[in-house]
Amino acid sequence: MPLSPSPNGAPATAPSTARLVLFNAPAGHGKTRTVVERYGDGGDPREPVRWIRCAPGSVDTVWADLSRAIAFVTGSSPDAEDPSPETVKRAATELAAPCTVVIDDYHHATSAANDLALADLIEAAPRLSLVVAGRRVHLLDGPLVTGRIAVHVLGPEDFAVSAGEAMRMAAEAGLPETERLRLAVEQTRGWPLAVRAALGPGADPIANLTRFALHHLELLDDPSRRIILIASQLDAAGLDQLAEAAECPIAEARACVHDLLERGLLLAAHRSEITEFRCHPAVQPALAARSLRSSSPARRAALLRDRASRIAAAAPFTAFTHLCAAGAYPEAEAVLAQHFTAITDEGEEAARLLRALPESALAAHSTFVAARLLLEGPDPAAPLPMLRRLLEQALPALRERILAEEAAPTEMHLPLLVQAMTFERFVGDADTAHRIAEDVEARLNDTAPDEAHPAARGAHGASVSRSAFPMHAREIALSALRAGDLPQARRNLRLLRAHAEQLMGGSALAGGSPALATVSDAESGRRWLLAALNELALTELLDGDLRSAAELLEQSESLGASGSGKAPGNSRLSGEIARAVLASEQGDERMFARAEERIAPMRDRVEQWPLVLLAEAEMVRRSRGADWALSQLDASVVQASESGRRLSGAWYEHLVCYRVMLHTVLGDVSAAAQRLADLPDARPDAQIERARIALFSGDPVGSLLLAQRIGDAGTTRRQQLDRCLVSAVAAWDCGRTDESLSALRNAGRLIRGGAPTSTLAGVPHSSLREIAEAASDAGGCELLDLIDSVPEPARPRRYERLTGMELRTLATIAEHRTYNRAAAALYVASSTVKKHLASVYRKLHAKNRDEAILVAKRMGLLDGEPPARESA
């Protein structure tokens, strides 16, 4: 039979099988009124409902009251000599008709023995029903009772006033809907008594709640007052901490806590085997403000530090919050370093705490700066110069701390190394960052020398915590990518992926505290899985595996579309950069435009900016040719340099090699050689570009020899494909047909495996097509369709080598400008000059004299600088 509506208007129902109904909620929830409306007040003797109202000290008298109630129904005399549970149970078994007994204010009579005895009574008397209303019970809603009999429990949430109902009540009271009204309603958390107080007389609902809290404070005795004021300053506290802080015996503190729970001022929070207590949100702000006025800063700081020390392992974000509020920055930094992921996963809340720290604390404790870089780096609203300034201020102190840690290591040693690695990379020192990354990775592996990496199995050694590992692995990978160490990057990103997937199987709050933490292990795992997928996609693209990169981006897109939150830091941006590079390789203008649109707001924060410029230049080369691509790229690099970006690292070296390639395919081999001089000779991509320059300079033998020196070890798939294509054309020019066809077949194998086809535009197009036709006729690989798909503007042309007379003729016409003067200088007829120039135009693909001179100067055939290219 349905119960009467609860104060929020939602009906509560009790199942017909439950003969014990428990209304269990603190004061101010309307329990008695609801019971009266449903069952009656017991005033009508014709109704089989009897009421018992417990008074303080009713633990021993409640059975006498029950005996009289049942005797009234049966018409017998109560057992005045022995009103024990056994006699009441015997009397109840004699009930001839259904009977309901209401026990109101049962919190005065509850005890473990009484609660179990009530369960025995219901079990033995099938015609008896009990309705129990109280502010708290011992065992009546626990498994020792509910495991034996059906109990329908209605708690505070069943009596709560919804936000919508509270706003309707406010409208009925004539209160205007304001932001402060909405805040007050939210603060009440549905507590009916607090809702009525907030909507009471007075224009300001928040002020009404303040008076509500302070009036409660006046009703409390001194120990209870001290305890509630202490609780108002903390997220929660155990009984032992409340007793210590209030300086009262544990038994007295327990009694005070029970009283505060019954009044609704405290709420119980059950975590594992621990029960903690927190101040009700309706009164917490007002009581916290009162506590601040009456307590010294030192005493409050000690209270917060004590709480933090108790919960740091289980609730790191909460502990970090308290330590920051206490100004205990060394302890706060230690907690942050040990639980970096759990704390930074809280996003804006963590950023707000960090922004409130003084600059002196940021300069002295670099972990705070590292967290701000992670949280605010992707935020276009966060001023980038300020973040750079914080990093530059923190870096000198960080270097000094690392030196001290080398002499006497502490648990901060590894986190500080990771921060140094990140900071050095941010300021542009890729080599130092990579050296530290190798050191950090070795230290991580040393935590479990005989087993798989600790992250793979989800348990870590003493040197790295579970919560710190995701950031460690990601930063190692990014530093390795910046230095061009793709195997190290891939290794750590795969560990990060395995760790994230393991987290996704969990459900506990990463921060451990229901009061402050909001991100679960599963949610954190999804975020870091997004990071791993995005960074892995970029890694595979740099390696030249377009197929794997596309699959990883698709997985990331699917996971992001499922509402799994945002990847931490700039990891989402890495995915967009990978998408832009992939689109430029495939000529997908729509995908490229979408990636560019997402990158645009973050363009000044892109650490991998050379890759963005590469993708943009490649799209231009496909549509307008290498000359336009080079013009745009040169201007972009100048702009990046003027904006303070440091031109270093593997990404910038990729950019240099791409510019060298563009110069080469344009025939500007002198500029190509000049740019290439900036790169180490041992780099595979630099060696490939030297072979390309020789090929386009008309030296196929030298080109083939240079290409043959490059092995597979230490090279990416992209570099291997480039080497194969250069080798194929050079061998063909040398008349080594079999070697040429073999190199082309290897190129086809790499392309089928996902290597980028943009490399096809890096060798003379007509020669490559000629070799492909021969390979097709010989039954080799079929690359003709792919070669023909290279856009016309991007197809490089072959410049034939000039004879000595042709070169002298061109040099003379460049100096004297007219046929007659050139002929006189060469002691030949003007018709001979014209004949040699016609041959020069054909070999250099020039339309006129000036264009031929320009191409020749680019190729280094004439002295002097070529005229400046027209701006794109």
The model's pLDDT over 241-273, given as tens digits with 9 standing for 90+, comes to 999 999 999 999 999 999 999 999 999 987 667
**pLDDT for 271:** 67
Contact by Cβ (8 Å): 723, 710: yes
**pLDDT surpasses 60 at 864:** no
**pLDDT surpasses 80 at 12:** no
Instruction: Using alpha carbons, select from 51, 13, 7, 4 the residue that is nearest to residue 30.
Output: 7
Share above pLDDT 90 across residues of the chain, in percent, rounded to a whole number = 64
Instruction: Using alpha carbons, select from 171, 160, 161, 167 the residue that is nearest to residue 183.
Output: 167
3-class secondary-structure state, position 453: coil
Retrieve residue 124's tokens: 């033995």
β-bridge mates for residue 50, sequence order: 101
β-bridge mates for residue 5, sequence order: 11
Share above pLDDT 70 across residues of the chain, in percent, rounded to a whole number = 92
**pLDDT for 80:** 64
Give the separation between CA 669 and CA 674, rounded to whole angstroms.
8
Q: Is 558 exposed, middle or buried (0-12, 13-18, 19+ CB in 10 A)?
A: exposed
Q: What is the pLDDT of residues 515-532, one digit of tens each?
A: 466 788 888 999 999 999
Q: In what order do the strands lie in the sheet with 99-104?
A: 49-53, 99-104, 128-134, 20-24, 151-154
For 15, other C-beta atoms within 10 Å of its C-beta total 10
Give the separation between CA 460 and CA 476, rounded to whole angstroms.
17
Retrieve residue 684's tokens: 């595979």
Contact by Cβ (8 Å): 119, 87: no
Q: Residue 278 carries which side chain, given as an amino acid letter? A: R
* Rounded mean pLDDT, 386-395: 91
**pLDDT surpasses 70 at 449:** no
Retrieve residue 850's tokens: 């000036």
Q: Residue 192 carries which side chain, given as an amino acid letter? A: P
Q: What is the pLDDT of residues 590-642, one digit of tens each?
A: 999 999 999 999 888 888 999 999 999 999 999 999 989 999 999 999 998 88
**pLDDT surpasses 90 at 513:** no
Higher pLDDT, 508 or 87: 87
**pLDDT for 857:** 77
For 224, other C-beta atoms within 10 Å of its C-beta total 25
**pLDDT for 14:** 44
Q: What is the pLDDT of residues 61-111, one digit of tens each?
A: 999 999 988 888 887 777 666 678 999 998 999 888 899 999 999 999 999
**pLDDT for 495:** 95
* Rounded mean pLDDT, 174-189: 93
Q: What is the pLDDT of residues 298-339, one digit of tens each?
A: 999 999 999 999 999 888 999 999 999 999 999 999 999 999
**pLDDT for 378:** 87
Retrieve residue 801's tokens: 């080598």
DSSP string, 503-561: HTT--SBTT--TTT---BHHHHHHHHHHHHHHHHHHHHHHHT-HHHHHHHHHHHHHHHH
Which of the residue ranges 187-201, 499-513, 719-733 would you say has the lowest mean pLDDT?
499-513
Question: Tokens 């967290």 label which residue?
Answer: 371
Strands 128-134 and 274-279: unpaired
Q: What is the pLDDT of residues 687-709, one digit of tens each?
A: 999 999 999 988 999 999 999 99
Q: What is the pLDDT of residues 757-795, one digit of tens each?
A: 999 999 999 999 999 999 988 876 789 999 999 999 999
**pLDDT for 570:** 87
Question: Tokens 């603190």 label which residue?
Answer: 26
Instruction: Using alpha carbons, select from 187, 285, 311 the residue that is nearest to residue 229.
Output: 285
Q: Is 297 exposed, middle or buried (0-12, 13-18, 19+ CB in 10 A)?
A: exposed
**pLDDT for 1:** 30
The model's confidence at residue 11, banded by pLDDT at 50, 70 and 90, is: very low
**pLDDT for 304:** 95
Higher pLDDT, 168 or 454: 168
Q: Each residue of 622-647: b (16+ CB within 10 Å) or e? A: bebbbbbbbbbbeebbeebeeeebee
Residues 6+ apart with CB under 8 A from 766: 797, 798
**pLDDT for 460:** 35
Q: Is 615 exposed, middle or buried (0-12, 13-18, 19+ CB in 10 A)?
A: buried
Residues 6+ apart with CB under 8 A from 155: 24, 25, 141
Q: Residue 216 carries which side chain, given as an amino acid letter? A: H
Instruction: Using alpha carbons, select from 474, 596, 594, 599 the residue that is nearest to residue 539.
Output: 474
* Rounded mean pLDDT, 33-53: 85
Residues 6+ apart with CB under 8 A from 55: 105, 108
3-class secondary-structure state, position 667: coil
Q: What is the pLDDT of residues 110-120, one digit of tens each?
A: 999 999 999 99
Strands 151-154 and 20-24: parallel
Give the separation between CA 114 and CA 111, rounded to whole angstroms.
5
**pLDDT surpasses 90 at 354:** yes
Length of the chain measured in residues: 872
Q: What is the largest CA-CA distance in the chain?
A: 148
**pLDDT for 641:** 87
**pLDDT surpasses 50 at 866:** no
Mean residue pLDDT across the chain: 88
Residue 408: how many CA atoms within 13 Å on its side-chain side? 1
Which contiguous run of DSSP H or E holds residue 268?
strand 266-271
Q: Is 428 exposed, middle or buried (0-12, 13-18, 19+ CB in 10 A)?
A: middle
Question: Tokens 């909405």 label which residue?
Answer: 182
Contact by Cβ (8 Å): 262, 136: yes
**pLDDT for 222:** 94
**pLDDT for 445:** 79
Q: Is the dihedral of CA 720, 722, 724, 726 positive or negative?
A: negative
CA-derived radius of gyration, the chain: 40
β-bridge mates for residue 21, sequence order: 131, 152
